[in-house]
Structure formats: structure tokens, C-alpha cells
Amino acid sequence: MRCVCGTRMRGEAHVQRGSEIRYYRCPNGACHRPRLPADRIEREVVSAIGQAVLPDAVIDAARAELRRRLAVPQVVVSGRQRARLQTRLEQLRKQHQWGDLSDADYLAQRDAVNATLNSLPDDDRIRSFDAYRTRLLALPEAVRVATPERLEELCHIVVAEVLVSERELQAIEWTPPARPFVAKRQRACPQGALRVREPDTLAWYVG
């Protein structure tokens, strides 16, 4: 939860007439916006999660665009690089077993190769896309029957940040893997002529 001033909000609770009431508050001393009732804003976020999934036709178009992008040479090159790095990991493992590498050298070189591997696109981004699609399409029903603990898990899966102003929900920033499947809430620039540039919704899958 983030205030429009840019500060991450804090949760706090107060007991009134024997009942605990939770709030979100901006800790920025220069920001004098009122506390935000936690129950209400959380209900709005959960409601948005359940209603945000795009129609199948829009998701199908995104999938087709993803397949087109994954056919470009740079993705093919990254696949070859992944194969070379995996071979390098196997070589390091054998050198360590044979005693040619100390424990410290092996761990340092292994971690460096793994870090490079993790920066490359996954082997099958289409499969990842389809798996996330299945999860997102099940969201409305999952939200309807979820326990409070499960709702918190669902929020972490799809919501990166919630922006609030005064006592109102302004925007939800979705997590990168969820973006191709949910409706975007575009915010107007104060001048009115420009719009905030939307991130590439497929960037996470392309890598």
C-alpha cells in the first residue's frame, strides 16, 4: 500500500469500544492525508482482483503476440547460451568431484553461472504463460471462497502495489506475470494531454 506522496503506508490498529479497528497510515510527516480504513480498502482490492481478468479473446491475442516475439533471433540465441551455461555447470560439478576445484572456488563459480542463467528467459515461456492464465482465470471463484489467509496469498501472486490518495483507491499495479491477463487502469497526467506510459505487459514472459 503506497500513498500518492510516494511513501509506503504502515498498518496500525486501535481498540475502540472493545473492537479492534485497523488502518493504513502514511508515515511521511509532511503528508497530512487521513488514515485509511484497512477493511474497506482491502475489500476494494479483493473485488478488483476478482473482476480484473480480461476476456479470452484479449488473452488469446496476447498469447499470439508472445509466440511471435519468442520467434525472433535474440530469443533463439538466449536458448543456445542457456545450453552452454548448463554444460558449464556440469563441468564445474565434475571438476569439484575430481578435486580440481576447492569448495570455495566451486561455489563461487557455480553461483556466478546460476546468476547468469536466472537472467535469461525461461526455456518455455508459452508454457509459463498458459500456466499463469489457468491460475488467473480461476481467480474470481478463488476470491469468492478464500479464507483471509488465502486471500493474502492471492494478493501476493497478482498485486505488486496499491496506490491510494486521501481515502480512496487510485490504482493497482499488477505483478509482471499477471499483467497480460488483467485490465489496466491508466492514469491521466495532470496536464490532461499526456498519459502515463503503460509497461509492456509481455516483458516478463519474453525476458
Taking only the tens place, the pLDDT of each residue in 115-160 is 777 766 555 678 888 888 888 888 888 888 888 888 888 888 889 9
CA distance 87 to 7: 45
Query: Is the per-residue pLDDT at 25 higher than 50?
Result: yes
- Could you tell me the residue range of the domain that residue 67 belongs to? 1-207
Backbone φ and ψ for 182, nearest 5 degrees, come out as -120, 150
Q: Count how many domains the chain has.
A: 1
Q: How far out from the chain centre does Cα 154 lie?
A: 11
- Of 60-74, 160-174, 185-199, least confident by mean pLDDT is 185-199
pLDDT computed for residue 23 by the predictor: 92
Cα four-point dihedral sign 54, 58, 60, 66: negative
